[in-house]
A and B are shown apart, each in its own frame.
Chain A
Amino acid sequence: MDTTSKFSKLYLTLVFVILYAPIFYLIFYSFNSGGTMSSFESFTFEHYAAVFEDTRLIMILINTIIIALLSALISTAIGVIGAIGIVYLQKRKSRNALLSLNNVLIVSPDVIIGASFLILFTMVGVKLGFASVLISHIAFSVPIVVIMVLPKLQEMSSTLVDAALDLGASKRDVLTRVIIPYIKPGIFAGFFLALTYSLDDFAVTFFVTGNGFTTLSVEIYSMARAGITLTINALSGLIFIFTLLLVLGYYFVTNRAKNPLRNGVPK
């Protein structure tokens, strides 16, 4: 028994090292004055300075954040209302049909989402750029929010709503005073997940962007094709810290809802 546990520790350590190695490798060389990712010369902050001096990069960064915030906000609104609708749907069949549709978008590979949205936008005549990227991000985030909110709604007993109604609460009151406060942790979890999906998306954005509008992922892709620049490394250092803060925020929010991470898994 003791040997297995030693082996298991070694194994887990190895997995952790491999998972984190590329990230720390990037960050390590972001302090390299040598300009390459192979030989470390001396310590410098110049690449971080370069990030902040590059107004174009900063603008792309801000665009990425704006898209993430707005898409997460709007998709959360649509998703929450949709989830409430689904739960109170009387017909089992239509409920299942909606849930399957919901799942289709979650499982669909990004290439399919990107390509089909590109067709959609050109057919409808939406200008490729900020609007098309925002709409697509909302589109792929809505189902995620629904999935995160549903279990909370399902575990809420319907007698709670009926009781409120019997006590003379208006429907508006039921929504704002009973349902929403109850599913709040699910709403926050959905929002955070939508936020990270938007920040991380490359493939869908790659298809539907244009007219000078880019997000960070697409920009990194074109920078990476041009070769190694330690500005990307410095950027990744900053992003790592930002992500860490975001994760901690997420952990904090969902931890208040008792069961972290597994919050979104319906029974």
Chain B
Amino acid sequence: MKTNSNRSFYLIPYVVWMLLFVVAPIVLVGYFSLFDLHGNFSFVNYQNFFTSVYLKLTLSSFWYALIITGFTLLIAYPTAYWLTKTKHKQLWLLLIIIPSWINLLLKTYAFIGIFGVFGPINKFLELFGIGKQQILYTDFSFIFVSVYIFIPFMILPIFNSLDKMNPTLIDAARDLGSSTWNTFTKVIFPLTINGVKSGIQAVFIPSLSLFMITRLIAGNKVITLGTAIEQQFLVTQNWGMGSTIAVFLILFMVIIMILTGQKDKGELVNGHNK
């Protein structure tokens, strides 16, 4: 096989690229996390991370991510399930995906208007005599907008795994006298667990790092790990602390990847997200 050495020639640009833009940045983040505000080598940032403020921040960030992922799954699973039952399912799927291709900032901007004091939701509430409510800048609006943004990324992997499932299995289960609920919990759900895992991975990690929505929709009353990193880097200029939080976010990411890991990694591509 004399072609082998030549074939690896193809790899050079790619490997160089990956070294420069995956390995080097991660190493740099790790390196920067080891310097304090005065540029001296120290572990002070790590010490700091384990103080109440940052621990609380991490916990609340996880809590919000958990809620967002939960609601997204709750809404996306039935959608994906019933989508596979429609006639032109690929077309319908495409229609579900299109909104996710509209610029994220525009959708967020739309919600500023929709949830506004004079917006349509409040008009609707007034019509029913409930009266004006403050909707923008609340936990509700933050979770709603996040779920809205993530839904397509959850539907896609679940849809794919449901679609791959052999329908005769369900018939078999029914023939054997299994109830609808039992068929779902014992047959359908376990068979689509990989899709669900991919979906969770595609939603949970980005929810930990949302930062633009926390500002525009939650009015900075929700702080995620992502917001904290952005603030440390671009506002308070404490790159060391920012890098430390980033190191932990990378750690959490790896743990989540392992927990939801599976051989069928390709579906991840649908999850790359803001």
Contact = CB atoms under 8 A, between A and B. Distances in A.
Asked if A and B form a direct contact in the complex, defined as CB atoms under 8 angstroms apart, the reply is yes
A108 B18 CA distance: 14
Contact of B90 (A37, A217, A239, A261): A261
B267 A115 contact: no
Nearest to A115: B233
A107 B17 CA distance: 17
Interface string B175-207: 000000000000000000000000001000110
A221 B269 contact: no
B94 A19 contact: no
Interface in B100-128: 101-114, 116, 118-120, 123
A171 interface: yes
B243 A119 contact: yes
B13 interface: yes
Interface string A23-37: 101100100000011
A119 B106 CA distance: 29
Interface in A71-119: 78-79, 81-86, 88-90, 98-99, 101-113, 115-119
Interface in A227-267: 228, 232, 235-236, 239-240, 243-244, 246-247, 251, 260-262, 264-266
B184 to A, nearest CB: 12
A18, A79, A115, A261 pick with most chain B CB within 10 angstroms: A115
A70 interface: no
Contacts of A146: 14
A19 B215 CA distance: 22
Given A12-B82, A37-B119, A78-B14, A261 B97 contact: yes
A36 B106 contact: no
Contacts of B93: 261
Interface string A171-200: 100000000000000000000010011011
Nearest to B253: A107
Nearest to B224: A111
Nearest to A239: B103
Given A196-B101, A216-B103, A217-B104, A22 B111 contact: yes
B267 A265 contact: yes
Nearest to A110: B274
Interface string B197-225: 00001000110110110011000000001
Contacts of B44: none
A228 B92 CA distance: 33
A66 interface: no
Given A19-B96, A247-B98, A107 B272 contact: yes
Nearest to A237: B106
A147 B25 contact: no
B257 to A, nearest CB: 6
B148 interface: yes
Given A23-B102, A111-B230, A15 B79 contact: yes
A129 interface: no
Contacts of A20: 99
Q: How large is the interface on B (under 10, 10 to 19, 20 to 34, 35 or more residues)?
A: 35 or more
Nearest to B98: A247
Contacts of B116: 37-38
A23 to B, nearest CB: 6
A120 interface: yes
Contacts of B119: 37-38
A51 interface: no
B148 A207 contact: no
A144 interface: yes
26 contacts: A15-B75, A22-B111, A23-B102, A26-B106, A81-B13, A82-B17, A85-B8, A86-B11, A89-B11, A98-B18, A101-B22, A101-B23, A103-B265, A108-B253, A109-B226, A113-B25, A115-B242, A115-B246, A142-B17, A147-B266, A171-B6, A216-B103, A236-B110, A251-B94, A261-B93, A262-B163
Given A82-B15, A139-B20, A247-B97, 9 more contacts: A8-B82, A38-B120, A86-B11, A116-B26, A119-B29, A142-B14, A203-B226, A261-B90, A265-B267
The 10 closest A-B CB pairs, nearest first, are A82-B14, A116-B25, A85-B11, A109-B209, A37-B113, A85-B10, A22-B110, A38-B118, A266-B266, A139-B21
Interface of A: 5, 8-9, 11-12, 15-16, 18-23, 25-26, 29, 36-39, 78-79, 81-86, 88-90, 98-99, 101-113, 115-120, 123, 139-140, 142, 144, 146-148, 150-151, 165, 171, 193, 196-197, 199-203, 206-207, 216-217, 220-221, 224-225, 228, 232, 235-236, 239-240, 243-244, 246-247, 251, 260-262, 264-266
Interface of B: 3-4, 6-15, 17-18, 20-26, 28-29, 32, 75, 78-79, 82-83, 85-86, 90, 92-99, 101-114, 116, 118-120, 123, 148, 151-152, 160, 163, 201, 205-206, 208-209, 211-212, 215-216, 225-226, 229-230, 233-234, 239, 242-243, 246, 249-250, 253, 257, 264-272, 274
